[in-house]
Structure 1
Amino acid sequence: MAKNKNVNYKGPYGYQKMKEREPRACIRFKCALTNTILDVLRQRPGWVEVKEEGEWDFYWCDVRWLQENFDHTYMDEHVRISHFRNHYELTRKNYVVKNLKRFRKQLERDAGKLEAMKCDFFPKTFEMPSEYHLFVEEFRKNPGITWIMKPDGVRLDDQKDEIPVENYVAQRYIENPYLIGGRKFDLRVYVLVMSYIPLKAWLYRDGFARFSNTRFTLNTIDDHYVHLTNVAVQKTAPDYDPEKGCKWMIQQFRLYLTAKHGAEAVEILFAEMDNIFIKSLQSVQKVIISDKHCFELYGYDILIDQDLKPWLLEVNASPSLTASSQEDYELKTHLLEDTLNIVDMEGRLTGKEKRVGGFDLMWNDGPVSREDGNLDTPMNGFVANTHLGYNNDRKKQLKQLFKPFQTQQKV
């Protein structure tokens, strides 16, 4: 990580000067995971894997390394790592509730109640044991409501022991989830944040709906095959069919809803999901340490109820990158390739792009207009500027985007 004396790293894109001297920059990477991301990194042209103690330019690290080493590690201008220092402000349930409540009060004070109500997308939650008395009061006022207990630290899909779980949250259970084929599901959506100050966030067009394996009922609240949608849980069900799986691509889900409820209702729903992504990021914008070396690929879990209202369940700092099928592997491979394209260690982007592969720039210190020009069309109080679930012609887009760079390299 010490500067290479033979390379000039000046300029906003790290390897800009190196690229002028060498046709293909050698980018040294480390990776703490052994799944799809490692495959993608090893196959990327000009990228070279380094040993444990070797110097690196890019590190797809785990949060344990971050906690133990970030504050003691010198990083050159061009170096990038895959987490923000205190990402848990958004990814731990008790922290995100605290930050959303604070942000809602700020919005109400600065912009009024209608704007503040746009933060009402998280189920009512109490931290235990510090808010036990508040929870008891709420429980007594509404005795028929179902509550669930969750550890306040998010369990990482590909890593263990993010932060020792000491506290729990009591969260109101969404008793009226939208059902397809009688089964509960949630959505996994990917958001890439390159900076918090200013806030710059990208939304991936692909994602998926994860279904439970058993028809929904409130009579068996402790049945994991009914109420949990995690693939790791569902694939252990006795009647699980690995060929059918338990996922829909989000494009398929959007088409289903459009056929059943009409295009306008679906636009409103997806605009409200856009609002969840932006408001949740804004709620932690002032507390996240926005180090220029850091980026973060978040996995958002969204539940939709029978009224087509989306609810934020949690945000994952390390969404699962292990594939459960060939289709899943292709989705995650493309997602990770495009993440690396935006991180742009090679210095190929101008910084003005609104789309890179399957990612669309959603927020750049303010809303970013949609390609079809619908940014100024408010729907139900929300701005419809999402590309989530749209056709993802990423290969064509990338070919066009990097054509000038490829031509320059040939010359």
Structure 2
Amino acid sequence: MSTGAQVSYCVDMDKSVILGNIEKRGWVPVGPDDDWQFYWASTQTCRNLFSVDSGYRMNDFQMINHFPNHYELTRKDTMVKNIKRYRRDLEREGNPLAEKSQEGRYLYLDFIPTTFILPADYNMFVEEYRKNPNSTWIMKPCGKSQGAGIFLINKLSKLKKWSRESRTVFNPNLNKETYVISRYIDNPLLLGGKKFDLRLYVLVTSFRPMKVYFYKLGFCRFCTVKYDDSAREMDNLFVHLTNVAIQKQGVEYNTVHGGKLSIENLKLFLEMSRGKAATDKLFNEINWLIVHSLKSVAPVMVSDRHCYECYGYDIIIDNDLKPWLIEVNASPSLSSTTLADRILKYRLINDLMNIVLPPDGVPDVKWNKTPSPDQLGHFVLLLDEELAAMNDQKSKKQKQ
């Protein structure tokens, strides 16, 4: 909707779904050194802007699309560190959320695969590996995206060989790159014999108090080759990695549907094949996983009121319908591989802007980012700690 307000904007990426939404609103483009009101920026631009050296101070009329230290959740190593710390802290407090089974697994907070950070946790990883030497693990460089540098291992010798060749693990001074190594989910839920993951969008408008919106139009991303967990297919990325950047290079890639299926269609399939109760339980667990991953970083996040963030959550469902958080992206891809993709992402940005901007469409940090229900579009409110606290107080008064 065009408000007629002359909002000045700045964008440092050429994405049609962003520019289309901005142009529809009749905004005016300005440079990064001008008095912009709305900035859709890359994570690098945000880092530069928020750095101590820049000395930049934002005004009440300015909004930007990343929190200063978003990487606490979106770097593979810091996400794991924060979730592990969160679980330990709850355990120390005696919080029932941190309860464990007899085997030592968390009953409610077991939503990331067993993961170690290399080179720091190398000895701990070896100890865990030796408990189950037939297991498969997946190695990922922390500073890369779109599936770059990822590989699977099922023998310690393969890791040692890689270490010698890359000179990473045992001599970290020669190569500062950090890796995470996670137990591979080797019993993924398959559709048509193929592995897939979920890409879900989550909008956070504040970390303290936490306010989180979930986007209903997520999708599944499929591998182009049928799943095969045998050793001979271990190096075949088309079997194991769902990243579109990798899959679209395959000869089997379908440019019409882009190897994607809507979450709504996945739900329908699961309700027919596994039943409604099991499907509802799965999606409740996904909501739970999102909320607690965000709570794990809330204490360390700089909750700047000029900021909001649209995270891209990557989740794998195993054959027992248990969801596993694989990673969270700070800049989920806004490129479109299909027409349906472009429509979805255009709607995502439109709905997001209707939440983060006041009803008059002019950026203002005093806006509490609580739009009327008809302005939510395809977002649903997942958590509002402020609202929850008010409701708690209300119910206490009623009991008195």
TM-score class, shorter: 0.7 to 0.9
Q: Deviations over 1:59-106 (max 9, x none)?
A: 011111122222421211121001000001001111111111111122
SS in structure 2 at match of 1:240: coil
Using the alignment, how far apart are the partners of 1:237 and 1:87 within structure 2? 32
Q: CA deviation at 1:154?
A: 4.8
Equivalent residue number for residue 216 of structure 1: 227
Q: CA deviation at 1:32?
A: 1.2
1:285 counterpart SS class: helix
Where in structure 2 are the equivalents of 1:162-311 lying within 5 Å? Answer: 166-219=177-230, 220-311=233-324
TM-score by length of 1: 0.79
Shift, 1:347, TM fit? 3.9
Task: Name the SS for the 1:69 alignment partner.
Answer: helix
Rounded Cα–Cα distance in structure 2 between residues aligned with 1:240 and 1:62:
29
1:35 alignment partner in structure 2: 15
The residue aligned with 1:117 is 107
Residue 134 of structure 1 aligns to a residue whose secondary structure is helix
Q: Does 1:365 align with 2:376?
A: no
- Is the CA contact (8 Å cut-off) linking 1:211 and 1:246 kept in structure 2? yes
Deviation at 1:51, TM superposition (A): 3.1
**Partner-residue secondary structure (3-state), 1:122:** coil
- The residue type paired with residue 260 of structure 2 is K
1:8-49, Cα deviation, whole Å (9 max, x unpaired): xxxxxxxxxxxxxxx732111111111134333432323111
Aligned mates of 1:165, 1:119 — CA distance in 2:
31
Alignment of 1:74 with 2:85, yes or no, is no
AA aligned to 1:291 is D
Contact 1:78 1:345 in 2 (8 A): no
Residue type of the alignment partner of 2:189: Y
32-41 vs 202-211, which moves further: 32-41
Q: Distance in 2 between matches of 1:367 and 1:137?
A: 45
CA distance in structure 2 between the partners assigned to 1:123 and 1:367 by the alignment: 33
**Equivalent residue, structure 1, for 2:38:** 58
Residue pair 1:204, 1:358 contacting (<8 A) in 2 also: yes
Contact 1:201 1:362 in 2 (8 A): yes
Q: Percent identity between the aligned chains?
A: 42
Which runs of no fewer than 5 residues in structure 1 stay unpaired? 1-22, 158-163, 369-411
Q: Distance in 1 between matches of 2:80 and 2:308?
A: 22
User: In the superposition, relative to structure 1, how do residues 312 and 165 fare at CA in structure 2: closer, same or farther (>3 Å)?
Assistant: farther
- Corresponding residue of 2:24: 44
Q: Give the number of aligned pairs.
A: 340
Do the aligned partners of residues 334 and 260 (structure 1) sit closer, same or farther apart at CA in structure 2, a change above 3 Å counting?
same
d(CA) in 2 for partners of 1:367, 1:155: 36
> In structure 1, which of residues 134, 142, 160 is the aligned counterpart of residue 132 of structure 2?
142
2:372 and 2:286 map into 1 onto residues whose CA distance is 19
Unpaired segments of 5 or more residues in structure 2?
101-105, 148-174, 362-366, 389-400
What is the CA–CA distance in structure 1 between the aligned matches of 2:257 and 2:45, rounded to whole Å?
37
In structure 2, the partner of 1:103 is: 86
Match of 1:86 in 2: 69
Partner of 2:315, secondary structure, is strand
Determine if contact 1:28/1:50 at 8 Å carries over to the other structure: yes
How far off is 1:366 after superposition? 6.6
Shift of the 350–121 alpha-carbon distance from structure 1 to 2, 3 Å rule, reads: closer
Check conservation: 1:36, 1:323, Cα contact below 8 A.
Answer: no
Larger deviation: 116-125 or 313-322?
Answer: 116-125
Say which SS state the counterpart of residue 300 (structure 2) adopts.
coil
Distance change (3 Å), C-alpha of 1:300 and 1:230: same
Could you say if the C-alpha distance between residues 24 and 244 of structure 1 is closer, same or farther in structure 2, counting changes exceeding 3 Å?
closer
The question of whether the paired residues in 1 share the 8 Å contact of 2:65 and 2:309 is answered with: yes
How far apart are residue 119 of structure 1 and its match?
1.7
Structure 2 residue 338 is matched with structure 1 residue 338: no
Pairing partner for 2:120 from 121, 124, 130? 130
> How many angstroms does 1:172 deviate by?
0.7
Question: 1:238: Cα distance to partner?
Answer: 1.5
How many angstroms apart in 2 are the aligned matches of 1:352 and 1:67? Answer: 27
SS in structure 2 opposite 1:313? strand
Coordinate RMSD, CA, aligned: 2.1
Q: Distance in 2 between matches of 1:269 and 1:185?
A: 16
**Preserved contact between residue 213 and residue 237 of structure 1 (Cα < 8 Å):** yes
Secondary structure of the corresponding residue to residue 239 of structure 1: coil
Give 2:142's aligned amino acid: D
Q: C-alpha displacement at 1:351, in angstroms?
A: 5.1
Read off the aligned partner of 1:254 and give its amino acid letter: K
Letter in 2 for 1:49: P
Q: What TM-score do you get using the length of structure 2 for normalisation?
A: 0.81
- In 2 relative to 1, CA 67–238 (structure 1 residues): closer, same or farther, beyond 3 Å? same
- Relative distance call for 1:345 and 1:46 in structure 2 (3 A) is farther
> 1:367–1:106: structure 2 CA closer, same or farther, 3 Å change rule?
farther
Distance 1:26 1:243 in 2: 39
Q: Quote the Cα distance in structure 1 between the aligned partners of 2:381 and 2:372.
A: 5
Tell me the secondary structure at the aligned position of residue 217 of structure 2: strand
CA spacing shift, 1:244–1:68, aligned 2, 3 Å: closer
